[in-house]
Amino acid sequence: MIKGNDVELGDTLGDAIVYEGVAKYPQRLKCATAAWQALQEVIANG
């Protein structure tokens, strides 16, 4: 969805639906996904 792909999840996204607009501004992709990347690193490195 952030990269412009269609996602059919309806109301299950809740507030995360705001990330759909990031696809219009590719330069903001890194900013929008920074928290997810940090979380993945913390989980991987314990």
Please report the pLDDT score of residue 4 as a whole number.
60
3 lies in some domain? no
pLDDT for 41 equals: 93
For residue 39, being part of any structural domain is answered with: yes
Cβ neighbours, 10 Å, residue 11: 6
Q: Quick one: pLDDT at residue 22?
A: 76
Predicted pLDDT of residue 38: 92
Domain count, the chain: 1
pLDDT tens digits, one per residue of 1-46: 565 666 665 566 676 777 777 777 778 878 878 888 899 999 999 7
Closest CA to 2 of 17, 38, 10: 17
Instruction: Provide the residue range defining the domain that includes 20.
Output: 10-45
**So what's the pLDDT on residue 34?**
86
Domain-located, residue 31: yes
Tell me if 2 is assigned to some domain: no
pLDDT for 44 equals: 95
